Chain A
Amino acid sequence: MDFILNKALPVLFHWGGVCLFAPFFLGVIARVKAFFSGKTGPSVFQLYFDLAKLFRKKCVYSGTATWIFRAAPAVILGVMLTLSLMVPFGRFKAPVQFSGDVLLAVYLLAVGRFFMILAALDTGSSFEGMGASREAFFSCLSELALFMNFIVLALLAKSISLSQMIGANIPMSWGGMEPVLLLVVVSFFIVLLAENCRIPIDDPETHLELTMIHEVMILDHSGVDLAFMLHAAAMKFFIFSGILVSIIIPVRTGNAVMDMAIFFGGMLGLAVLVGVVESTTARFRLNRVRLLLLISFALAFFGLIVTLWRA
């Protein structure tokens, strides 16, 4: 009984919350983009309808695909679900917390990415291969920036547990270390755009095979596999946004409902911001993307220097 209340229920709440709310925020981004184009746009719940339909469709597999291609969607979904357990959302503490869990989180992301790249190569299609190689290259840079951000946060919190880094100690840090946190916020925002396939790094709705990075890797999936991939992408955005919102708005009013409302308000605001950024910039050429990611790293690195100097 004790186990159910203290261990199982929080896990289920966390999973339930992430699974349920993740597709909503991608719908918000699509709606904002449609507004800027002068359209009404799809419903904010469109991704839910899409997923419901995909679960009932058959899967089509190419003759050359091996077990890797069939396993990849499940692996990626599993990674996202596990990752969601380590990230606190607003007032809900992360069910899984231990010292060093941030390393596990980053490596889990890497495992997901690894399988995605392998699955893309498995199809034998040349431009999926191109997309895979671009993804591998850009992730080298974005992981660098991500790590640097986490190092700064770890130094500020004096702990290497994700929940401590972005949960408990942030309010204090805003008190004295605002410049560093600002740098981290901007740098992390760029990483968020990169990891979630957003303009200016990648266009999620482009119809040009030769320019795709993330989209090309899901091109061959269908039915339930595709549903897994899309849902995992939505959850990835939710997790990254959740981390960023926890850094920007570390409010603890004490009232549970108030806290949740503020957290969701922040997530909504971030989704709208991403939509606005996507609508007002063109997509960068691939060699500029390199520069952008390096800038993100540089900002975080500068933050690190300031932290060390102040300490």
Chain B
Amino acid sequence: MLNILMERLKQGRRTLSFPKGKPPVLPARYRGRPIVAGLKDGVDLGKITFIPDSGIQHSNDFRMAASRREDLVLKGDDAHALAHALNKKILEMFGRSLKLRQVSAGGCNACEADINVLNTPVFDLSRFGIQFVASPRHADGIVVTGPISRNMKEALLKTHEATPDPKIVIAVGACAISGGIFSESPESSKGLDTLLPVDLYIPGCPPHPLTILDGLLRLMGRLRKE
């Protein structure tokens, strides 16, 4: 008992101060939002998998979540419509208490792992009133990862049905947004929005936990719009 207390005092509190204060800076090689100025064709954040040898330059900015699919397609100038908060009525309800149900629909487990990490001390989702729950009946929304394999489609739709209204749908990762690198396979879909209406898109492969956290906080109106 005593050594638990000692260990706790030694470990200290490692929670990031984000969103208060300056946003954290990620390592130099991190591939964040693409730099589109000067590129002839635009870049679709929902399709790319953020690889180093794609010919696209990436900045260090981890803020990429968007509320509409169109907002993920970056063209010409670097202006990027980041996710905006939910409409007022829903925000009133979910502003301080958002329970989410995670559905893994054929993902490679990287997105799931990065979502799991949000519950650890460094990111600590619970301080915002956001929690992942065990049952869709307890949830206010579903968070979907993976390209929605044929074998998981029905389970996903049933889970969505079991979530009480009003509810939201969040797509995390390139696979959930557009099918990612599996989009050509007959065994996977071409994106979550072909099946359900999506309220928040979080691009990445996998998205850094800060991108996911940033997206969720924007959805809840906790971050000022920029």
Indicate yes or no for A touching B, C-beta below 8 A: yes
In the complex, A55 Cα to B168 Cα: how many Å?
Answer: 17
A219 within 8 A of B: yes
Given A57-B164, A60-B164, A37-B140 contact (CB < 8 Å): no
The distance in angstroms between the C-alpha atoms of A238 and B85, with both chains bound, is 37
Q: Do B13 and A58 touch across chains, with their CB atoms under 8 A apart?
A: no
The reply on A92 being an interface residue by CB < 8 A is no
* Cβ contact within 8 Å between A222 and B138: yes
Taking CB atoms, residues of chain A closer than 8 Å to B99 are: 50
In the complex, the chain B residue whose C-beta lies closest to that of A219 is: B135
Please judge, given known A-B contacts A58-B164, A222-B137, whether A53 and B124 are in contact too, CB under 8 Å.
Answer: no
Cβ–Cβ contact B97 & A280, under 8 A:
no
Q: Which residue of B lies closest to A40 (CB)?
A: B127
A175-219 interface code vs B (CB 8 A; 1 in, 0 out): 000000000000000000000000000000001010000010011
**Interface hit among A41-49, A154-162, A250-258:** A41-49
Asked if A42 and B126 sit within 8 Å, CB to CB, the answer is yes
Residue numbers in B under 8 Å from A41 (CB-CB): 124, 126-127
The yes or no answer to B88 lying at the interface (CB within 8 A) is no
B23 interfacial by beta-carbon distance below 8 Å: no
Chain B residues, Cβ within 8 Å of A226: 137-138
Closest to A215 in B: B134
Q: How many Å from the CB of B140 to the closest CB on chain A?
A: 7
Chain A residues near B138 (CB, 8 Å)? 218-219, 221-222, 226
A59 to B11, CA, bound (A): 43
Considering the chains assembled together, what is the distance between the CA atoms of A50 and B126 in angstroms? 12
Contact of B121 among A39, A52, A222, A223 (CB under 8 A): A39
In the assembled complex, how far is the CB of residue A235 from the closest CB belonging to chain B, in whole angstroms? 19
Nearest A residue to B12 via CB reads: A38
Q: Which residues of A contact B (CB under 8 A)?
A: 34-43, 46, 49-50, 52-53, 56-60, 207, 209, 215, 218-223, 226, 279-280
Task: Please name 11 pairs of A and B residues whose Cβ atoms are closer than 8 Å in the assembled complex, sorted by A.
Answer: A34-B126, A35-B8, A36-B4, A39-B126, A41-B124, A41-B127, A42-B127, A46-B129, A50-B97, A207-B134, A209-B134
